[in-house]
Chains A and B, each alone.
Chain A
Amino acid sequence: MRQLLMVRYGEIYLKGQNRPFFLNLLRQRLKKAVLPYGGVVTLSDGRYYVTNYSDEHATIQAIQKVFGVHSLCIAVEMSKESFEDIQNTAADMIDGYNGTFKVQSRRSDKRYSLTSPEINREIGAYILNRHPHLSVDVHNPDHVMSVEIRDHAYLYIKILSGPGGMPVGSNGKATLLLSAGIDSPVAGYLIAKRGVELSAVHFFSYPYTGERSKDKVIQLASKLSAYCCGMKLYIIPFTEIQMEIYQKSFSDHTTLIMRRFMMRLAERIALLDGAQALITGESIGQVASQTMEAIVCTDAVVNKPVFRPLIGFDKVDIIRLAEEIDTYETSCLPYEDCCTVFTPKHPVTRPKIERVLKAEAPLDIDALIDRAIKGVEVIEL
């Protein structure tokens, strides 16, 4: 008899002939996640089993960040030969619980001497006998004692939810434009959840921002990285571009043109990094640079598709998600951001592409982009 973690996968169930590819990928992701705690991952009979881990709490937390995992539970694995032992173990496990319960069994070993309803009945009666303060409620129980008869018997009570989604790496690679704000980490999370591997770019405006605000972005990227099985963060020096735009463009167009530069730079990084798409945290109408017209203008400078998973989200919904994935507090750290110098007081909200091109005309775009790319700092997370 031993304790282990039983992990169930989600959407991979829907896969047909290529299911082994997804199952293998998820196993690799799980292995990497539990590696720091010495866990061993095996796949058997439609379940992953994690054994030999040192720190149960940390191992569970790590598994809860692996996309593709539907749920997991702390289970007792034991021989199925002695039904009396199984009954005994079930009664021991439910010791300390109060209220109502039911026993729910599954039998993938159809040769087992008892049927599922019989198992439920027998174990239920045994538990009631040992713990008379409990009562049975088969419709709406407080606790479910689950018993699975496979090559061994598996018993568990609590089921913890996983993050869902698809294993990272099963759906290509994309580059996330990561600011120090609330939205972009959430956007990255949502795309990664669909199995997309991420890299991130951050635009750094020294001396308008300093080491602490860079560290804030690194912290955010690290939090995302825990879900993404690692991530490269590209820090791009951006001050020269901002200064040039400030000096040479129409003041009401500076933010928009800055966004266009960010997209161009992100696409360059995506090309270097083998990413197929760009991701931003934009939500339509949230700020001047996120109106329909502005988004059309920023999209126009790149060839790669731009995914905006938050496009239809209200700010409150984005904040709720940021809290769920634990990036909200970091995003709200009040480190200095004096880039407002480059934000016009009255930005254009309905830009026209002709005027945008005119505003950009005095800038040596390629040279500025080349210089910025040369100064990139890469951080492996």
Chain B
Amino acid sequence: MENTKSTKMNIAYFDNSATTRPTNEVIERVTQCIKEGYFNPAALYKPAFDIEQQINRCRNLIKSKISAEQVYFTSGGTEANNLAIFGSLKHKRQKGTILYSAGEHPSVVNACLELLNLGFKAQTIPYTVEGIIDLSSFEDLLSDDIQLVCIMHVNNETGAIQPLHEAVQLVRSKAPDAHIHVDGVQGFLRVPFNMRFFDINSYSLSGHKIHALKGIGALALSKGSKLSPILFGGNQENGLRSGTENVPGILSLLAAIENFPANPSMRSLKLQLYKRLKESIPTLSVNGPVPDSQQAAPHILNVSLPPVRSETMLHALEADNVYVGIGSACSSKKQRISTVLQSMGIDKTDAQSAIRISLGLLNTQVDADKLINSCVSAYDKLKHYVRR
């Protein structure tokens, strides 16, 4: 792992919730797979069988990590979410209501909105100011008409960890037949999760958020949870996801999971970033839960630095090879604000100056120092310019 930490051109990359840099282990496994393991896993000869075995090794590893009954590989988080949403409702005779949390990823929101065209109803579960689902409002929305509930485990913009345990208990008592889907793309391996413990029906994950390749993801199912396919073809993945398996992708995921440390140091680095930035930038406010609370993910820190606009800060940091994320882009004509921050009731000025610092396994103390120096000096320079 150590040798991968030296970054090219002294880049300090803090946009790991957008995507991550593949680790050396991943690159090696993928290179070997492309060179030597190119066989179609469905073929009958031994090298193909060996590949199939490796695919199943990855499948079993994911199963054991989250106590899943079944795991199906997909092209990524978006497909996994779509498969869970459409696949769980396909065999339902009655068109009921779907609930999804206010900060869901577009691959969940837009799939749910598409269901409106098929006769379903959809409602949003509101967020509190900390970006956590409002359990009392959620309870009011529940009834036996609910067929699907989608809750993202860790919000991709704020890092807020959702109270799955409480939420599931509410669903099971008031809508016992509902399918519960959890988008685990930002949480997998970074925030503890157990399908059996939480009593979740389906859980999606994505490879490129944990240093594997883009184009690979998975949908995990709990015992007894049923899904119908949304793609049809050669009946791979037990008929649920046809299409020749993305072998390099799956093996990249295997390498990434095998090498993911049990206790990554992301949380302490994040807390240090927060503390040092707060000391130098008095206007800083956190969007999401208090960074050192149990509700805050170890790798995402969303802060507003008014009056400096998000894009301006992003570009200023970019000049120093420091890369962070922002929720959305602004334009002089359309003042767009992140829907997640909006749903939390974050004030417009704060929302327009929000940046997302997201950490990965490869971030170092040197990166953190670079981010802080760059951010503080840009802030000191740019804070004087406010529209008047």
A336 touches B319 (CB 8 A): no
Question: For the complex, is A99 an interface residue (Cβ under 8 Å from B)?
Answer: no
Which residues of chain A come closer than 8 Å to B309, judged between CB atoms? 338, 341
Which residues of chain A come closer than 8 Å to B329, judged between CB atoms? 334-336
Question: For the complex, is B388 an interface residue (Cβ under 8 Å from A)?
Answer: yes
B387 touches A206 (CB 8 A): no
- A206's nearest neighbour on chain B, judged by CB, is B315
Which residues of chain B come closer than 8 Å to A336, judged between CB atoms? 311, 329-331
A210 touches B311 (CB 8 A): yes
A341 touches B319 (CB 8 A): no
Task: Encode B329-362 as 1/0 by CB contact (under 8 A) with A.
Answer: 1111110100000000000000000000000000
B331 touches A207 (CB 8 A): no
Contacting residues of chain A (338-356) with chain B, CB-CB under 8 angstroms: 338-345
Task: Encode A194-212 as 1/0 by CB contact (under 8 A) with B.
Answer: 0000000000001111100
Question: For the complex, is B269 an interface residue (Cβ under 8 Å from A)?
Answer: no
A340 touches B332 (CB 8 A): yes
Question: For the complex, is B312 an interface residue (Cβ under 8 Å from A)?
Answer: yes
A207 touches B332 (CB 8 A): no
Question: For the complex, is B318 an interface residue (Cβ under 8 Å from A)?
Answer: yes
Q: Which of A3-11, A50-58, A243-251 contacts B (4 or more CB under 8 A)?
A: A243-251
Number of A-B contacts (CB under 8 A): 59
Contacting residues of chain B (298-341) with chain A, CB-CB under 8 angstroms: 309, 311-316, 318-319, 329-334, 336
B378 touches A334 (CB 8 A): no
The distance in angstroms between the C-alpha atoms of A338 and B378, with both chains bound, is: 15
Query: Chain A interface residue count: which class?
Result: 20 to 34
- A210's nearest neighbour on chain B, judged by CB, is B315
Question: For the complex, is B91 an interface residue (Cβ under 8 Å from A)?
Answer: no
A210 touches B318 (CB 8 A): yes
Question: For the complex, is A337 an interface residue (Cβ under 8 Å from B)?
Answer: yes
Which residues of chain A come closer than 8 Å to B386, judged between CB atoms? 341
A243 touches B385 (CB 8 A): yes
B319 touches A207 (CB 8 A): yes
Task: Encode A313-343 as 1/0 by CB contact (under 8 A) with B.
Answer: 0000000000000000000001111111111
Which residues of chain A come closer than 8 Å to B319, judged between CB atoms? 206-207
Question: For the complex, is B93 an interface residue (Cβ under 8 Å from A)?
Answer: no
Interface size on B, residues (CB 8 A): 23
Chain A, interface SS category: loop
The distance in angstroms between the C-alpha atoms of A251 and B319, with both chains bound, is: 28
Question: For the complex, is B384 an interface residue (Cβ under 8 Å from A)?
Answer: yes
B318 touches A341 (CB 8 A): no
B315 touches A335 (CB 8 A): no
Contacting residues of chain A (153-212) with chain B, CB-CB under 8 angstroms: 206-210
Q: How far is the CB of B105 from chain A (nearest CB, A)?
A: 21
Which residues of chain A come closer than 8 Å to B314, judged between CB atoms? 207, 210
The distance in angstroms between the C-alpha atoms of A209 and B311, with both chains bound, is: 8
Which residues of chain B come closer than 8 Å to A343, judged between CB atoms? 387
Which residues of chain A come closer than 8 Å to B333, judged between CB atoms? 334
- B388's nearest neighbour on chain A, judged by CB, is A251
A337 touches B331 (CB 8 A): yes
* Complex partner residue of A344 from B315, B334, B382, B388, CB under 8 angstroms: B388
Whether A207 contacts B385 in the complex (CB less than 8 A), given A335-B331, A336-B330, comes out as: no
- B309's nearest neighbour on chain A, judged by CB, is A338
The distance in angstroms between the C-alpha atoms of A339 and B312, with both chains bound, is: 9
B315 touches A208 (CB 8 A): yes
- B385's nearest neighbour on chain A, judged by CB, is A341
Q: How far is the CB of B200 from chain A (nearest CB, A)?
A: 37
The distance in angstroms between the C-alpha atoms of A104 and B387, with both chains bound, is: 66
The distance in angstroms between the C-alpha atoms of A339 and B319, with both chains bound, is: 18
Q: How far is the CB of A328 from chain B (nearest CB, A)?
A: 14
Q: How far is the CB of A2 from chain B (nearest CB, A)?
A: 49
Which residues of chain B come closer than 8 Å to A251, judged between CB atoms? 388
Contacting residues of chain A (222-254) with chain B, CB-CB under 8 angstroms: 243, 246-247, 251
Contacting residues of chain B (106-151) with chain A, CB-CB under 8 angstroms: none
A334 touches B334 (CB 8 A): yes
A207 touches B388 (CB 8 A): no
* Complex partner residue of B318 from A207, A335, A338, A344, CB under 8 angstroms: A207
The distance in angstroms between the C-alpha atoms of A342 and B336, with both chains bound, is: 19
B312 touches A338 (CB 8 A): yes
Which residues of chain B come closer than 8 Å to A207, judged between CB atoms? 311-316, 318-319, 378, 382
The distance in angstroms between the C-alpha atoms of A334 and B311, with both chains bound, is: 13
Whether A246 contacts B315 in the complex (CB less than 8 A), given A336-B329, A338-B330, comes out as: no
Q: How far is the CB of A183 from chain B (nearest CB, A)?
A: 14
- A336's nearest neighbour on chain B, judged by CB, is B311
Which residues of chain B come closer than 8 Å to A341, judged between CB atoms? 309, 312, 385-387
- B326's nearest neighbour on chain A, judged by CB, is A336
B388 touches A345 (CB 8 A): yes
Q: Known A-B contacts: A207-B312, A210-B315, A334-B329. Give 17 more (CB < 8 A).
A: A207-B311, A207-B313, A207-B315, A207-B318, A208-B315, A210-B318, A243-B385, A251-B388, A336-B329, A337-B330, A337-B332, A339-B332, A341-B309, A341-B312, A342-B385, A342-B387, A344-B388
List 29 contacting pairs A-B, 8 Å CB cutoff, sorted by A: A206-B319, A207-B311, A207-B312, A207-B316, A207-B318, A207-B319, A208-B312, A208-B315, A210-B311, A210-B314, A210-B318, A246-B385, A251-B388, A334-B331, A334-B334, A334-B336, A335-B331, A336-B311, A336-B329, A336-B331, A337-B330, A337-B332, A338-B309, A338-B312, A339-B332, A341-B386, A341-B387, A342-B387, A345-B388
Q: A residues within 8 Å of B by Cβ?
A: 206-210, 243, 246-247, 251, 334-345
Q: B residues within 8 Å of A by Cβ?
A: 309, 311-316, 318-319, 329-334, 336, 378, 382, 384-388
Task: Please give me the 8 A-B residue pairs with the lowest Cβ-Cβ distance, nearest first.
Answer: A207-B315, A207-B316, A336-B311, A337-B332, A334-B331, A210-B315, A338-B309, A338-B312
